Amino acid sequence: MSTHDEERLSRGLHDRAGDVSGAPVGLDEVKRSARGIRRRRRLATGLVAAAVVAVAVPVGLNAAGGPDAGRPVAPATTSPSGAPTRAGTPEPTPTLPNPEGGIPLTVRKAPAGQPAKVGYLRGRTYVAPDGTTRELPAAYDTVAPYRGGWLAVQRKQGTPYVVQVDSSGAVVSSQPGGDRIVTSDDGVEVSWVAGGKLYLDGTNGHSDTPQSIDLPAGADASPVGFVGPGTVLARVGAAQPEFWVTNFSGHQVLQGRILAVRATSMQRGLLGVETSYNSNDGTSCWKVATNQGGDREPASCDWTVNAFSPRGGFVAGYPSGVDGLGSSTVALLDAGTLAVKVRFDRVGNGETFVSDVAWEDDSHVLATLYEDGSWHLVRLGLDGGIQTVDQAPGAPEQSPFHFAAHP
């Protein structure tokens, strides 16, 4: 092989491709294509699941040790509700395991529950835990009660801004910042990133000057969560982020293989850490970092670690290969083992998925669910129960529901 030939070939290819241009592909077109791909994948998955059920149910086998270990076991019967759900066949009731073994993730036949115990956004409306509502100046990505008003994150042309809104609903300030606002377990401490600094207000606005530390110039940063009183874990950087733990008098950088941290537990000092990512199939591995040393830390390549329950005993997660539009399965896991306590699975092949979850108390998770062309706020229980809490219209790509920062 000669360099001359390689150069000729390279030059020839560059000459040929140099002036190639085409009609620009827009995001809407890409999303439409993505929805089509998603539907085809679901159809294929449904057919495979049907084949598996057809074989496994009569024999009564249940594989142990996989991602489904510990989940409620489907009865080895062939009742109508045990058959794969197809168009024109009866839907299983919400209280029976569906053919894939989990609780049907659907609002059909789900009873209406009590109002949510955590605040959330429905479009521009803030719904407080006591059920009262308040119109905000804009549709924000998240809010946190602050100084009698709110701190909010608003996306402007892709850049997150941290906006302070006073009790009258007037915008007090707005500056580029992080895409999260986090609060401590007691709701008193609030942390956010704005103007190149990571802030901590330990008095929820009752002090004149919040504490802060400087971030590297131009760093894309955001708090992830509290890991102790006055101690915040923050993501610093986007492409190869560092994870800082700071008490605002200095900071330490977490060491080890950490691709992302999605969850923290303030009470138990736990982190939900992504440790690896497989670019071939899009799956990832996660662990619960206990920071205790010695003991083996719970890990899983089947489930993500999205959110810890308030006392840190449980985790809400999705299958590790979940795609970008949302997850058709939500699992509540034991944080000590990452074994499944209960899982909720989409019924049939419809466009049903969850875009976000937040623990409401130590037994219940709130989830933003898209089903039948509408968005729903639902309550999922460790006991397998499912209740409807709120509903709003919206395109599948754009949930109107966003959870407020909450303990």
Partner 1 sequence: MDVGTTDRDADFAAYMAARQPSLLRTAYLLTGDRHTAEDLVQTAFAKLYLSWDRVQRRELVDGYVRRILVNEHNSLWRRAFKRREVASGELPETRAAPDRPDDGESAALWAFVQTLPRKQRAVIVLRYYEDLSEAETAEVLGISVGTVKSQASRALAAMRSRVHDHPGITQDSVREEER
**Per-residue contact flags (x/-) with partner 1 for residues 12 to 51, judged by CB under 8 A:** xxxxxxxxxxxxxx-x-xxx-xx-xxx-------------
> Interface residues for partner 1 in 112-171 (CB under 8 A)?
141-142, 155, 157-160
**Per-residue contact flags (x/-) with partner 1 for residues 312 to 351, judged by CB under 8 A:** ---------xxxxx--------------------------
Shortest distance, position 240 Cβ to partner 1, whole Å = 7
Among 179, 201, 302, 371, binds partner 1 (CB under 8 A): 179
**Residue 68 in 3-state DSSP?**
coil
**Closest Cα to residue 403, out of 385, 389, 386, 384?**
389
CA dihedral 132, 138, 143, 144 (to 10 degrees): -70
**Residue 151 in 3-state DSSP?**
strand
Of 158 and 293, CB closest to partner 1 = 158
**Per-residue contact flags (x/-) with partner 1 for residues 378 to 397, judged by CB under 8 A:** -------------------x
**Closest Cα to residue 366, out of 387, 395, 393?**
387
Residue 285 near residue 301, CB atoms below 8 Å: yes
Residue 335, burial from CB neighbour count under 10 angstroms (0-12, 13-18, 19+)? buried
Q: Does 279 bind partner 1 (CB under 8 A)?
A: yes
Shortest distance, position 127 Cβ to partner 1, whole Å = 15
Shortest distance, position 82 Cβ to partner 1, whole Å = 30
Could you give phi then psi for residue 57, rounded to 5 degrees? -65, -45
Distance CA 129, CA 354 (A): 21
Shortest distance, position 341 Cβ to partner 1, whole Å = 23
**Residue 16 in 3-state DSSP?**
helix
Shortest distance, position 346 Cβ to partner 1, whole Å = 16
Distance CA 281, CA 146 (A): 42
**Per-residue contact flags (x/-) with partner 1 for residues 51 to 90, judged by CB under 8 A:** ----------------------------------------
Of 92 and 145, CB closest to partner 1 = 145
Of 41 and 108, CB closest to partner 1 = 41
Shortest distance, position 6 Cβ to partner 1, whole Å = 6
Residue 329 near residue 106, CB atoms below 8 Å: no
Of 85 and 204, CB closest to partner 1 = 204
> Interface residues for partner 1 in 237-276 (CB under 8 A)?
238-240, 259-260, 274
What token pair was written down for 344? 């909720």
Beta-carbon contacts of 392 under 8 Å, excluding residues fewer than 6 positions away, are 122, 123, 374, 375, 400, 401
Determine the distance from the C-alpha atom of residue 121 to the mean position of all C-alpha atoms in its chain, rounded to a whole number: 16
In the complex, the residues that contact partner 1 under the rule CB under 8 A are: 1-2, 5-6, 8-10, 12-25, 27, 29-31, 33-34, 36-38, 141-142, 155, 157-160, 179-182, 238-240, 259-260, 274, 277, 279-280, 282-284, 321-325, 355-356, 358, 368, 397-399, 401-405
